[in-house]
Structure 1
């Protein structure tokens, strides 16, 4: 099986979202003196800065960079619908949710952040978050539109 077309699409997506990834790298580098540690997660196509020292907990993705407050992305978490008290869904794995955002960034590139904000930002109503939760629950459906 030839994976060359798949790899070329991945590289194209990584190039398209590079400005977002550079923002994530910059934020990660700023956090390193405060305990953040970078680690490449090939399965997620992302550089993860673990032990991100700021924020309420959890993770945020910028392109192919994930800033995470904990030790590992392989931890259970609740969905946005659960957090809002709207559903009783099973726990998801945080890394799966963030991987969906990496894929979304790779398709939308520099358009991701404005579209994400137009869809409601960090909220259970945001179709990007709904799609990421769906992907984390089922392994399918990361595309928000």
Structure 2
């Protein structure tokens, strides 16, 4: 059963509003990154700051802002499981980060405490597992087995 487009737009607007406090934090960091040479665009339902200079490589999502050290979200990366245990299964970084955007839109400011409660940046974190699942299949961005 497909939802009516008006309901999808309303849910997107409400989710964007709910994620706004974290989006504001991302905007502040992104604007600082611009001063250091980052580029800004729109991708994967988020404002993307690419070529951000922070330690390591990868991406960080804050609300509807993605901070990425690379040039494009079309780059691939190993899934958290493969990075931890070996293997070659890769995902498009943008699809993985889009799952986190949706998670923020559903959970708002509760996302970060729940994310760290589940282990932070780790292969066993259900938020990362769900983001990899979504990046692989286009489904299953919700980190719990109930509700969606």
TM-score normalised over the length of structure 1 = 0.94
RMSD: 1.3
Alignment of 1:1-145 (within 5 A): 2-41=4-43, 44-85=44-85, 88=87, 90-145=89-144
Q: Distance in 1 between matches of 2:87 and 2:134?
A: 17
> How many residues are aligned here?
142
Contact 2:58–2:69 (CA under 8 A) maintained in structure 1: yes
Post-superposition, which runs of at least 4 consecutive aligned residues in structure 1 deviate over 4 A?
none
- 1:96-121 residue CA offsets vs partner (Å, 9 max, x unmatched): 00000000000001100000010000
- Per-residue deviation at 1:128? 0.1
Q: Distance in 2 between matches of 1:76 and 1:56?
A: 16
TM-score normalised over the length of structure 2 = 0.92
